[in-house]
Every structure is written in C-alpha cells, then in structure tokens.
Amino acid sequence: MTYFLKAEKQFIFCGRLFVISFALNLLSFSVIAKESVIHLKKRAQPQLLFIGDSHSVGVFGHELTKLLTESLPGVDVTTVASCGSDPKWWIESKPTSCGFWQRHPDGSQIEEHKANTPKLEKLMHNKPKLTIVALGSNIVLMNEDERITYTDKLMEMIEKKSSRCIWIGPPDSRKFSVQEINSVYSLLKKMSKPHHCQLIDSRKYTLYPSVGGDGLHYGGKEGTVIALHWAERVFSHDMKPLLLKSFSHEREYKKN
C-alpha cells in the first residue's frame, strides 16, 4: 500500500512539473511571437520628403504629390509647403501668412492660412531616402549673403542625412525679370554640384501668360493648365531616373 501511495505522489509531482514546463514553454512562445509582431509593425516604409513654397501649396505641388504617391505605392510620401518660403524659413521655422499645406503618408492633410514653417531638420527625423525641394522664386527677394548661407545650409543638411536630393528651381514669371531668375539659377547650379543635388530647371516647362494672374502664381484656367504640365514634365522627364535609383525594388516603384 505504501508503495502505491509513493508511486501516486510521484506521478502527481511529475504531472505538475509537466504542466508547469508546458505553461512556461507556451509563455515563452507567446512572448517571442509578440516580439515578432512588434518587430514587423516597427519596420518602416521607405520615406520621401517633398518641401516647397507657394507653387507647392498650389496646383503644381498637389499634382506632383499625386504623381509621386501613385507611382511609389510602397513609399511613405510626405509633402510640406509654405507660401512665401525661402531656404532660411526651413532652417529657422519662419511663419507664413499666405498659405500652408501638409500631406501625411496616410493621406491626411493640414491646410492653414497661417502657420509656422517646420524646420527641415525635424522633418528629416525619419531619414528619407529622397528629399525634393521646390524653392527659388522667393530667393530672388533675399540678399546675396543670405542666399548663399541658407541655400548651402539646406543642401548640406540633406546631404548629411544621407538623403538623395532633387532641387526644383523657380518657374518663369512676369513679376521677376529674366536676369533675376537667372541669378537664382546661377546660385543653385553652383551650390548643387558639391552637395550632389540634382537641379531641375523649371523654365523649360513654364511660360507665364502675358496677361492676367498676379505675375508669379499659376492659377486660373490658363495658369492651372501650365502648372499641371509643369508637374508632369518635371516628374516624367527629370525625376524618374533618380526615383529608380532611390526606390529600385519593384514593390517600391511602379514602372509605368
């Protein structure tokens, strides 16, 4: 009888050990599975950042953003546009009083008449593989020293963040003379080469109407058509080769 009692106790003890061991293994498996799920959730999509001035707040910026998001389905595209902005604004967070637009990768948007221009350094915290800058018209209004200083700082910041760079220069306008626009392009050409930034000349695709408008922004019936054409040409003729280099995986770039 004693023998059977001892055997029964040993059996119960072994059973408890088995249950405890099984429970611990199950818990360990659950933790590993949970960590794997968390890891998958944290795995970020490739990032693209597009910043610009009033042209990007308007038709041009909206159309170029649309082309980018449609052609890069596996990439998080963020667009931030601040009316009146020049390179200094994106370094020092200057406020705009004529229009601000931001589109997040999930499609949500912020549209305000007045807002602070966010610092480029903060916008680049996600380390975009490609940064597109559409600035130039307002550089005309800067003095020479600030033009050089802040344009260089902006390009240098993009380069240091290991992001490929595309700089879209100012379009044709009636408000500024050919000489004024040429001086901006001379600066951008000089700065872009050492910072490995591809410069796109928007004058190839734009001709401001001889009448109507405010002489600078592309709006109204005729101006809208020009802005749409400008965005499409910049995208298809100039940007596609660099997009292929930056987002070469087939899931990241839709070849069409």
State pLDDT tens for residues 92-122.
999 999 999 999 999 999 999 999 999 999 9
| Bridging pattern class, strands 47-52 and 76-82 | parallel
| Distance in angstroms (rounded) separating the CA atoms of residues 245 and 198 | 13
DSSP 154: H
| Distance in angstroms (rounded) separating the CA atoms of residues 12 and 17 | 9
State pLDDT tens for residues 157-211.
999 998 999 999 999 999 999 999 999 999 999 999 999 999 999 999 999 999 9
| Distance in angstroms (rounded) separating the CA atoms of residues 94 and 209 | 31
State the chain's mean pLDDT as an integer. 87
Quote the tokens at residue 200: 């796109």
Residue 256, pLDDT score:
53
Counts for the chain of helices (H) and strands (E), in that order: 9, 9
What pTM does this model have? Answer: 0.83
Question: What is the strand order of the sheet 47-52 is part of?
Answer: 109-112, 100-103, 76-82, 47-52, 130-134, 164-168, 197-200
Three-state SS for 55-102 is HHHCHHHHHHHHHHHHHCCCCEEEEEEECCCCHHHHHHCCEECCCEEE
Residue 248, pLDDT score:
82
Radius of gyration from C-alpha coordinates of the chain: 27
Residue type, 216: L
| Distance in angstroms (rounded) separating the CA atoms of residues 218 and 203 | 13
